[in-house]
């Protein structure tokens, strides 16, 4: 069949219904170039594997974007996954999300715990509950994916505790959580491969230096995000040193490793909110030009690959922690202050001070609120008692009044009878 066709095409030329070969070649090479570009922009794939059965993983941001894919992959490999989310475990969305993940991964060990990363109190409540266990609970991995990215043009906001929101969620909450969990991490057996994964972003390169506090008038969402990621990186390196410096009671080496991971530019609800500036018009434009974001940005699945590599790659245990991972390999940091011990010390001390101050203020506020609440409850109770007493008095009064009126009625009735009977009595003459 093809031979006669080729012979006819050779002798008489191509039939009219066959498109121009040049056109076909151009279209084919365009599609090929598109496929190559797409593959290149999608980044490296993680091919590392590690048995995760029986391992316990705490993950923040596990309900959206890169974090959700990571949590799913870990659950699929058999890990016990604890999703730390600001939603209460009874929230219908969360219940459905957890059920769905259990069903699709065939792993029932997926749980949710409420931790609001915009509240130091909420972080402390969860972390102290976690470490308050003897013997210490098993902990193999802490993955801190949660972050907030305020759309460009938006105003600076503060958490109810008075800390700038981006700084709080992206940096201070992680500092606080790992600070309290530190004894639980250090208490793991020496042969347990414990990893702490902190996603960062190349935006840190453009951050102002950490000792330069951003004034309100100079504040922009981009600067705040970049600065929070730079702080996270400086802290991650310092935290690795803090873990390494710990002398175990059994004098065996510490096996906990901290890894910073840059997932690359990824299509997630967070990046979409940023690209669309959180507006309807932005969303319409995003949908119209979706082809560009599809081509130039990774999918959430591809964005999670470097995180998975940092979690699963065996060789990373040998080389030690405090490393930056990008495109499934260890890379150098682009800023020298990330490794600067003086910067790290200053940041650590300032963060400790800020947490102490805010926690004290909040504790006082809570104590005051509790007192006021108790007073309100006591006042309400007193008012209730007074009301009860008044109604009792009223009942007694009414009863007495009723009695008196009955008495006076019967008196008048008795008087009338008396009069009647006295008038009917014959007088002695
Ligand atoms: N996407 C990118 O292009 C990109 C690039 C470089 C680095 N990264 C980093 O990769 C990580 C994941 O990014 P993503 O784009 O996948 O994030 P995302 O889709 O925006 O998801 C952020 C997650 O953080 C949670 N979260 C926000 N505020 C919280 C709070 N107060 N308490 C508890 N949880 C809170 C969110 O929970 P709710 O959904 O319930 O609000 C959500 O699960 C982030 O650290 C980000 O900085 C992302």
360 catalytic? Reply is: no
**Close Cβ partners of 259 (under 8 Å, ≥ 6 residues apart):** 195, 196, 197, 198, 236, 310, 316, 321, 323, 324, 325
Compute the chain's Rg from CA coordinates. 36
Q: Does position 329 have pLDDT exceeding 70, yes or no?
A: yes
Residue 345 — φ and ψ, nearest 5°?
-65, -45
For residue 417, the model assigns a pLDDT of 54
Q: What's the average model confidence in pLDDT over 329-334?
A: 96
**Which whole number is the average pLDDT over 36-65?**
94
Say what the pTM is.
0.86
Catalytic residue from among 229, 237, 298, 326: 229
**Percent of the chain topping pLDDT 70:** 96
Q: Pick from 22, 29, 25, 76: which is nearest to 49 by CA? A: 76
Are 347 and 235 contacting, i.e. CB atoms less than 8 angstroms apart? yes
What pLDDT score does 177 carry? 98
Average pLDDT over residues 50-58: 94
Neighbouring C-beta atoms of residue 385, cutoff 10 Å:
10
Give me the pLDDT at residue 19, please. 79
Output the CA–CA distances (angstroms, integers) from residue 358 to 186, 362, 369, 390, in the order listed. Answer: 27, 6, 16, 47
Give the other-Cβ count within 10 Å of 68's Cβ: 21
What is the reported pLDDT for 279? 92
The pLDDT of residue 361 is 95
Return the minimum-mean-pLDDT range out of 66-80, 348-362, 402-416: 402-416
Q: Read off the pLDDT of each residue in 119-133 and give the average, rounded to a whole number.
A: 95
Question: Residue 144's closest CA among 24, 311, 6, 370?
Answer: 311
pLDDT digits (tens, 9 = 90+) for 254-300: 889 999 999 999 999 999 999 999 899 999 999 999 999 999 999 99
Q: How confident is the model at residue 424 (pLDDT cuts 50, 70, 90)?
A: very low
pLDDT at 405 over 90: no
Looking at the chain, the whole-number percentage of residues with pLDDT higher than 90 is: 79
Q: Give the span between the Cα atoms of 29 and 25, in whole angstroms.
A: 6
Q: Which of 122, 144, 146 to mutate to test the pocket of ligand 1 (most atoms within 8 A of CB)?
A: 146
The predicted model gives 332-361 an average pLDDT of: 96
The pLDDT-based confidence of 134 (bands split at 50, 70, 90) is confident
Ligand 1 pocket check: which of 41, 62, 64, 82 to mutate, most ligand atoms within 8 Å of Cβ? 64
271 Cβ inside 6 Å of ligand 1: yes
Mark 141-166 as b/e (b = at least 16 C-beta within 10 Å).
bbbbbbbbbbeeeeeeeebebebbbb
- For residue 358, give both structure tokens: 């805010």
- Closest ligand 1 atom to residue 271 Cα is 1
pLDDT at 423 over 80: no
Residue with tokens 């080729």: 6
**What pLDDT does residue 189 have?**
93
CA-closest residue to ligand 1 atom 20: 270
pLDDT of residue 125: 96
Residue 429 has pLDDT above 70, yes or no: no
Does the beta carbon of 201 sit less than 6 angstroms from any atom of ligand 1? Answer: yes
Query: Does residue 79 surpass a pLDDT of 50?
Result: yes
Neighbours of 51 (CB within 10 A): 10
Q: Which atom of ligand 1 is nearest to the CA of 60?
A: 34
Q: How far is CA 63 from the centre of its chain?
A: 8
Dump pLDDT digits (tens) for 174-202: 999 999 999 999 999 999 999 999 999 99
pLDDT of 136 over the 80 cut: yes
Residue ranges per structural domain of the chain: 56-263+298-360
Between CA 160 and CA 408 the distance in angstroms is: 68
From CA 393, how far away is CA 250, in angstroms rounded? 75
Q: What is the mean pLDDT of the chain?
A: 92
What pLDDT sits at residue 415? 58
Cα dist from 411 to 398, 400, 419, 423, whole Å: 19, 16, 12, 18
CB 238 within 8 A of CB 115: no
- Identify which has the larger pLDDT, 411 or 185: 185
Phi/psi of residue 121, nearest 5 degrees = -65, -40
Residue 1 pLDDT grade (very low, low, confident, very high; cuts 50, 70, 90): low
Q: Assess whether the C-beta atom of 43 lies below 6 angstroms from ligand 1.
A: no
pLDDT recorded at residue 178: 98
Q: Give residue 385's pLDDT.
A: 92
Task: From the options 3.40.50.300, 3.40.50.720, 2.40.37.10, 3.40.50.620, give the CATH code of 56-263+298-360.
Answer: 3.40.50.720
Residue 404 pLDDT grade (very low, low, confident, very high; cuts 50, 70, 90): confident
């Amino acid at each position: 069949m093809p031979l006669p066709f080729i012979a006819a095409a050779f002798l008489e030329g191509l039939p009219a219904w066959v498109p121009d070969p040049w056109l076909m070649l151009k279209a084919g090479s365009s599609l090929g170039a598109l496929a190559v570009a797409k593959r290149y922009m999608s980044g490296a794939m993680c091919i590392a594997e590690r048995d995760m059965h029986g391992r316990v993983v705490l993950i923040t941001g596990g309900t959206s974007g890169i974090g959700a894919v990571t949590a799913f992959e870990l659950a699929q490999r058999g890990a016990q996954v604890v999703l730390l989310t600001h939603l209460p475990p009874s929230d219908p969305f969360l219940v459905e999300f957890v059920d769905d993940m259990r069903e699709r991964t065939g792993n029932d060990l997926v749980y949710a715990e409420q931790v609001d990363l915009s509240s130091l109190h909420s972080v402390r409540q969860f972390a102290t509950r976690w470490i308050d266990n003897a013997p210490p609970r098993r902990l193999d991995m802490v993955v801190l994916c949660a972050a907030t990215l305020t759309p460009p043009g938006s105003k600076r906001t503060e958490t109810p505790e008075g800390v700038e929101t981006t700084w709080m969620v992206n940096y201070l909450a992680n500092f606080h959580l790992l600070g309290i969990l530190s004894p639980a991490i250090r208490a793991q057996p020496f042969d347990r491969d414990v990893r702490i994964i902190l996603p960062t972003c190349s935006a840190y390169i453009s951050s102002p230096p950490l000792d330069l506090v951003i004034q309100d008038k100079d504040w922009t969402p981009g600067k705040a995000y970049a600065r929070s990621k730079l702080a996270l990186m400086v802290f991650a390196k310092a935290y690795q040193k803090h873990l390494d410096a710990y002398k175990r009671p059994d004098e065996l080496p510490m096996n906990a490793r901290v890894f910073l991971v840059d997932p690359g530019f990824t299509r997630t609800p967070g990046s979409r909110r940023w690209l669309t500036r959180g507006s309807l018009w932005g969303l319409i434009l995003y949908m119209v030009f979706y082809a560009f974001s599809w081509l130039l940005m990774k999918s959430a699945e591809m964005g999670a690959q470097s995180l998975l590599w940092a979690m699963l790659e065996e060789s990373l245990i040998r080389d030690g922690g405090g490393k930056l991972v990008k495109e499934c390999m260890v890379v150098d940091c682009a800023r020298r202050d990330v490794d600067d011990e003086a910067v790290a010390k200053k940041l650590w001390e300032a963060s400790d001070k800020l947490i102490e101050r805010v926690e004290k203020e909040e504790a006082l506020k809570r104590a005051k609120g509790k007192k006021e609440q108790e007073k309100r409850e006591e006042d309400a109770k007193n008012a209730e008692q007074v009301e009860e007493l008044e109604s009792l008095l009223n009942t007694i009064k009414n009863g007495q009044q009723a009695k008196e009126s009955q008495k006076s009625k019967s008196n008048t009735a008795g008087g009338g009878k008396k009069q009647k009977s006295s008038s009917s009595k014959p007088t002695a003459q």
